[in-house]
Amino acid sequence: EELKKNYPRYLKKAQQLKPNLYDGSVIGKSDVVVAPDSEDTLMHAEESRSKMIEKQNAPQMIEKKVITKPIDYAALNQLSTYFNTRFVPQTESSAE
């Protein structure tokens, strides 16, 4: 209850200390959000990892050759940028 009451004051103080973290558009590159690894979080991560391995080794997946690797978004973004700068979209030709 006290935290809710004092939240605006804490937020204002935090904005004064690190304005780039709280401006709504920029996150400081050197500042990291700390997420503690609780036993529950670690258990869910291990369960998720084991499910992924189980899916990769399933006969249906091997037969269909389904790729379950994580997506490399950095490479995808680079390709997208390259594509947008190198290729000009075709325009519809009108019948004259």
Residuewise pLDDT in 10s, the chain (96 residues): 676 777 777 777 777 776 656 555 555 555 556 666 778 888 888 899 899 888 878 887 777 776 667 778 888 888 888 777 766 666 655 554
Is residue 63 in some structural domain? yes
Is residue 33 in some structural domain? no
CA distances to 1, 80, 81, 83 from 76, in Å: 45, 6, 9, 10
Is residue 32 in some structural domain? no
Is residue 81 in some structural domain? yes
Is residue 93 in some structural domain? no
Q: Is 14 helix (H, G, I), strand (E, B) or coil?
A: helix
Is residue 90 in some structural domain? no
Q: Residue 33: its pLDDT value, please?
A: 61
Q: Residue 22: its pLDDT value, please?
A: 56
CA distance 16 to 22: 9
Q: Residue 18: its pLDDT value, please?
A: 67
Structural domain harbouring 8:
2-27+38-85
Q: Residue 47: its pLDDT value, please?
A: 92
- pTM of this structure: 0.30
Is residue 94 in some structural domain? no
Contact criterion met (CB below 8 Å) for 49 and 55: no
Is residue 60 in some structural domain? yes
Closest CA to 74 of 85, 86, 82: 82
Q: Domain count of the chain?
A: 1
